[in-house]
């Protein structure tokens, strides 16, 4: 063997010997979902027909760990079946980067993570992954974490730009310009408590054409109490600051009480209040609470009438609901009726005050664990809207407004290696 080859082998041996541990894992997700939308997100307008489509998420995840260093890269493609021809030369959405972060553990209690990452906390009402959405939700951020036993403090920050600009350039992405947050959580036997402070800055242009950033603060607490039979939680949040030169003054309260009747059957009663504004309120104050980065699909009905890309800066919402869950072997069933009201006045242009009742939605879902890496889920929902709902969202409340879906999630681990 040549001398250079011997030297190279010796160097590789020394490098390998210096590595304490290495782990590499790759897994795949293929998740097509069929949906029948017939009054989804809003009441179906008179004379219109519902529609159906199939969307698909494809993700490839790589996880690597070496000593105190951990990294993750997730590539994804989101598509609607048929959005490009069968002989296309290019994909409409191409491949996007959902996650790409590196984390270093300075000590067993201190770590830092930077890059594209999911920021999800507590019941994900304010900060969530939004996994139901095929594209999900992730942030470009730096997070420093302190996590001794039974406690955790996360400090995060982000600053966004459209490109590597040379001069000040408007940030026209539908996103915050800057963000900072602090989240602290403690566990005490059956009791858990969290505190959150979130500061989000959104850029706007004033009447002098000057670019400014106004900051809105979301702050509050989330409390849980769990035993073998009882599962209850309470969340309280307020919002203040400014947004587009308007003062913000809004709040949220929500809670639920769950009880395990048997090993197979659970029941939960819950209520949420999101503040809003009277339609005849002429002030410039923003009084409508915004869940910011919350997993809104998981709350206020699966038909997404409220806060899922809509219903912002409105009359607010009251949601009283009941959850009934039943499991049997590989099957899961859930029935969730919601009763929606608005806490604020709704006055028409003819000065007629409408009732606060918006409607009732009934959600039914089922799931079946077909194989180790294959799960089948589906559901049916129906909205019984009111005349007040018609006024707010137009459409026809007398029409059968329903939504049905079926999803297959395939999640195999395709590669795993340890040293």
Do residues 417 and 23 touch, judged by C-beta distance below 8 A?
A: yes
CA angle 288–293–299, rounded 5-degree value: 75
Torsion of CA 384, 390, 391, 395, to 10 degrees: 150
Of 109, 32, 100, whose CA–CA distance to 376 is shortest? 32
Do residues 98 and 76 touch, judged by C-beta distance below 8 A?
A: yes
Do residues 363 and 301 touch, judged by C-beta distance below 8 A?
A: yes
Q: What is the CATH number of domain 21-40+51-163+170-418?
A: 2.40.160.100
State the pLDDT at residue 20: 67
Direct distance between the N- and C-terminal alpha carbons of the chain, in angstroms, rounded to an integer: 28
Residue 10 dihedral angles phi and psi, to the nearest 5°:
-65, -40
Of 142, 151, 140, 144, whose CA–CA distance to 106 is shortest? 144
State the pLDDT at residue 19: 53
DSSP per-residue letters across 225-279: EE-SSEEEEEEEEEEEEEETTEEB-EEEEEEEEEEE-SSSEEEEEEEEEE----T
pLDDT of 103-151, one tens digit each? Answer: 999 999 999 999 999 999 999 999 999 999 999 999 999 999 999 999 9
Tokens (6 digits) for 237: 């949040």
Q: What is the DSSP letter of 146?
A: E
List Cβ neighbours of 91 (8 Å cut-off, separation of 6 or more).
77, 79, 84
Residue 188 dihedral angles phi and psi, to the nearest 5°:
-135, 95
State the pLDDT at residue 89: 85
Tokens (6 digits) for 121: 């906390």
Do residues 33 and 27 touch, judged by C-beta distance below 8 A?
A: no
CA angle 130–313–302, rounded 5-degree value: 35
Domain boundaries, the chain: 21-40+51-163+170-418
Q: What is the DSSP letter of 353?
A: B
Q: What is the DSSP letter of 123?
A: T
Tokens (6 digits) for 261: 């009747």
**What pTM did the predictor assign?**
0.91
Query: Block means of pLDDT (10 residues each) for the chain, length 419 residues?
Result: 47 49 95 98 93 98 97 97 92 94 98 98 98 97 97 98 94 96 96 98 93 97 97 98 96 98 97 96 95 96 96 95 96 98 94 96 97 96 96 91 98 94
pLDDT of 286-323, one tens digit each? Answer: 999 999 999 999 999 999 999 998 999 899 999 999 99
Longest dimension (CA), the chain: 95
The CA–CA distances, whole Å, from 178 to 154, 187, 243, 381 equal 17, 31, 13, 38
């Amino acid at each position: 063997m040549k001398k250079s080859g011997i030297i190279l082998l010796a160097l590789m041996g020394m490098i390998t010997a210096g590595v304490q541990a290495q782990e590499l894992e790759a897994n795949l997700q293929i998740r097509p979902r069929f949906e029948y939308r017939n009054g989804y997100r809003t009441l179906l307008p008179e004379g219109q027909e519902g529609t159906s489509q199939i969307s698909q998420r494809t993700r490839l995840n790589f996880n690597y760990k070496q000593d105190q260093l951990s990294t993750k890269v997730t590539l994804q493609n989101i598509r609607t079946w048929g959005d490009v021809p069968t002989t296309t030369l290019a994909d409409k959405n191409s491949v996007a980067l959902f996650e790409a972060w590196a984390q270093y553990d300075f000590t067993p209690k201190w770590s830092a993570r930077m890059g594209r990452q999911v920021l999800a906390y507590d019941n994900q009402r304010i900060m969530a992954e939004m996994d139901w959405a095929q594209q999900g939700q992730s942030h470009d951020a730096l997070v420093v974490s302190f996590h001794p036993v039974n406690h955790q403090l996360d400090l995060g920050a982000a600053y966004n730009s459209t490109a590597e600009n040379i001069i000040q350039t408007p940030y026209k992405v539908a996103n915050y310009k800057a963000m900072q947050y602090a989240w602290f959580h403690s566990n005490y036997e059956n009791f858990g408590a969290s505190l959150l402070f979130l500061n989000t800055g959104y850029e706007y242009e004033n009447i002098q054409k000057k670019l400014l950033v106004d900051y809105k603060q979301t702050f509050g607490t989330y409390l849980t109490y769990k035993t073998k039979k009882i599962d209850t939680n309470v969340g309280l949040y307020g919002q203040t600051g400014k947004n587009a030169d308007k003062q913000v003054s809004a709040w949220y309260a929500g809670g639920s009480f769950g009880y395990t009747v048997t090993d197979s059957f659970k029941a939960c009663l819950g209520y949420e209040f999101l503040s809003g504004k009277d339609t005849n309120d002429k002030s410039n104050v923003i009084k409508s609470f915004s869940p910011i980065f919350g997993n809104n699909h998981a709350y206020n009905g699966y038909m997404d009438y409220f806060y899922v890309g809509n219903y912002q800066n409105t009359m607010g919402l009251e949601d009283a609901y009941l959850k009934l869950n039943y499991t049997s072997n590989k099957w899961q069933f859930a029935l969730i009726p919601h009763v929606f009201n608005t806490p604020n006045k709704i006055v028409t242009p003819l000065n007629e005050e409408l009732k606060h009742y918006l409607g009732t939605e009934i959600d039914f879902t089922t799931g079946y664990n077909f194989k180790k890496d294959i799960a089948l889920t589906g559901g049916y929902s129906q909205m019984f809207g009111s005349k007040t709902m018609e006024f707010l969202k137009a459409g026809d409340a007398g029409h059968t407004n329903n939504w049905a879906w079926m999803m297959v999630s395939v999640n195999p681990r395709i590669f795993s290696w340890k040293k």
